[in-house]
């Protein structure tokens, strides 16, 4: 398994890679993880006995995950080169390489791996971001076509949304080399609670007033997440309802900017920025509504996690979100960038207890029936067996 960002706090790709490798390891599949060495991350303990190699790069500290900069390019290239050396040195010890992400580390190593006779599986984590398979045609001058040529040697792409599948086909990748599945949830880590007393006890432990309605966002605080829209919607909502509190979980380059917007909108008393929290389940259990405001997503883990906890969700009508959320059934969908529609959706759920309860039940049912890890991992295992045959 190759995941440059292998940590539960390094975005959705990192969290999914951690969960899948630990699950496969738990059921007895021999997994060897290769990832970037990144200093300064929150402390986290991988599963006992799981083999992980942290590969040094030019920069070992955390870097801006979203920016396209010369420094990030050099860091990525150094990871790609050192990764290739590990592949060559250990070439007799593995049969299949599964890349979490279909960007530079994959492009750089496709040809060496195929020359060594290895099978390659590559997950495409996001659509239309110009850094992964399915978004290179016509980009980076002639390099885009060169990237596509090399990527066509990949044995199987993992498309986690219909949008990603369609983009791969448009770029000329064969339909029979596209494996459709989804992201997944660990049911022992994300689950609903129904006992009001338990919810009250968690609120008390977290220092949250018992009578407040809690609106929660979880994710990296970067531009495409558009958390500013939530803050602007809240500035309109508090004119009608003073009983709400907004909890924003996660960190990122826009943290200080967003913290500055709250007082400008006169909502500082209504909004709490918690940063990275290790007890995210507690915050989801006390929430009344989960909001996702992104302009662009693959299949957002935070949305799956909230629905797994039985939260009524409001999300933008984009990417993989529309594969998960059926409007007015297991969630509410709003137009990306529309703070007015977002405000109306929040007020609708706050004011209609029956609708909120119905959506909550359907959200949990959707995850339980389609997105638990055992269902998704079985598909991966079948794929590995097919490729290894």
Could you give the CA distance from residue 292 to residue 238 in angstroms, rounded to a whole number? 19
Portions of the chain given CATH number 3.40.50.2000 = 11-184+373-388, 196-370
Whole-angstrom distance between the N-terminal and C-terminal Cα of the chain?
Answer: 19
Q: What is the mean pLDDT of the chain?
A: 91
Could you give the CA distance from residue 376 to residue 64 in angstroms, rounded to a whole number? 30
Q: Is the pLDDT of residue 82 over 60?
A: yes
Q: What percentage of the chain has pLDDT greater than the value 90?
A: 74
Number of helical H runs and strand E runs in the chain: 14, 12
pLDDT of residue 135: 59
List the CATH code of the domain at 11-184+373-388: 3.40.50.2000
pLDDT of residue 138: 56
Residue 83: both structure tokens together = 């990764």
Give the residue among 69, 46, 73, 68 at the shortest CA–CA distance from 57.
Answer: 73
pLDDT of residue 8: 79
For residues 330-348, average pLDDT: 98
Residue 210: both structure tokens together = 């018992």
For residues 352-373, average pLDDT: 97
For residues 214-227, average pLDDT: 95
What's the length of the chain? 389
* Residue position matching structure tokens 């989801």: 284
How many other C-beta atoms are found inside a 10 Å radius of the C-beta of residue 2? 26
Task: Judge contact between 151 and 106, C-beta under 8 A.
Answer: yes
pLDDT of residue 74: 86
CA distances to 6, 38, 59, 83, 308 from 62, rounded to whole Å, are 12, 6, 8, 18, 30
Please, which residues bridge with residue 248 across strands? 217, 273
pTM: 0.89
3-class SS of residue 44: coil
In tens, the pLDDT along 128-154 reads: 565 566 556 656 667 777 888 889 999
Q: Report the CATH fold assignment for 196-370.
A: Rossmann fold (3.40.50)
Residue 304: both structure tokens together = 């799956």
Quote the Cα angle for 297-302-307, to 5°.
115
CA distances to 19, 24, 88, 374 from 47, rounded to whole Å, are 10, 11, 26, 17
pLDDT of residue 140: 60
pLDDT of residue 128: 57
Please, which residues bridge with residue 136 across strands? none
Q: What is the DSSP letter of 327?
A: B
């Amino acid at each position: 398994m190759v995941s440059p960002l292998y940590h539960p706090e390094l975005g959705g790709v990192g969290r999914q890679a951690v969960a899948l490798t630990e699950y496969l390891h738990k059921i007895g599949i021999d997994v060897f993880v290769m990832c970037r060495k990144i200093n300064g991350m929150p402390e986290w303990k991988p599963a006992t006995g799981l083999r992980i190699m942290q590969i040094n790069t030019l920069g070992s500290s955390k870097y801006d995950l979203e920016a396209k900069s010369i420094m990030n390019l050099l860091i990525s290239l150094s990871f790609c080169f050192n990764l290739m050396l590990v592949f060559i040195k250990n070439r007799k010890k593995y049969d299949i390489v599964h890349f979490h992400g279909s960007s530079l580390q994959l492009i750089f190593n496709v040809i060496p791996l195929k020359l060594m006779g290895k099978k390659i599986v590559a997950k495409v984590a996001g659509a239309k971001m110009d850094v992964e398979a399915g978004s290179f045609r016509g980009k980076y001058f002639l390099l885009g076509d060169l990237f596509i040529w090399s990527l066509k040697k990949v044995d199987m792409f993992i498309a986690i949304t219909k949008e990603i599948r369609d983009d791969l086909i448009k770029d000329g990748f064969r339909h029979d080399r596209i494996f459709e599945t989804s992201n997944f949830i660990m049911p022992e880590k994300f689950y609903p609670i129904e006992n009001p007393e338990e919810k009250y006890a968690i609120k008390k432990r977290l220092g949250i007033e018992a009578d407040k309605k809690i609106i929660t966002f979880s994710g990296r605080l970067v531009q495409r997440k558009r958390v500013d829209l939530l803050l602007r919607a809240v500035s309109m909502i508090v004119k009608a309802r003073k009983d709400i509190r907004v909890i924003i979980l996660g960190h990122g380059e826009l943290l200080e900017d967003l913290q500055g917007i709250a007082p400008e909108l006169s909502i500082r008393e209504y909004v709490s920025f918690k940063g990275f929290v290790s007890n995210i389940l507690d915050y989801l259990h006390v929430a009344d509504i989960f909001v996702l405001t992104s302009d662009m997503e693959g299949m957002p883990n935070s949305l799956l996690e909230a629905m797994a906890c039985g939260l009524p969700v409001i999300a933008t009508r984009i990417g993989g979100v529309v594969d998960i959320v059926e409007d007015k059934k297991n969630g509410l969908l709003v137009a990306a960038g529309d703070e007015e529609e977002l405000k109306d959706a929040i007020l609708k759920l706050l004011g209609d207890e029956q609708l909120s309860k119905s959506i909550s039940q359907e959200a949990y049912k959707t995850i339980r029936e389609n997105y638990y890890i055992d269902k998704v991992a079985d598909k991966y295992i079948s794929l590995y067996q097919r490729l290894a045959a």
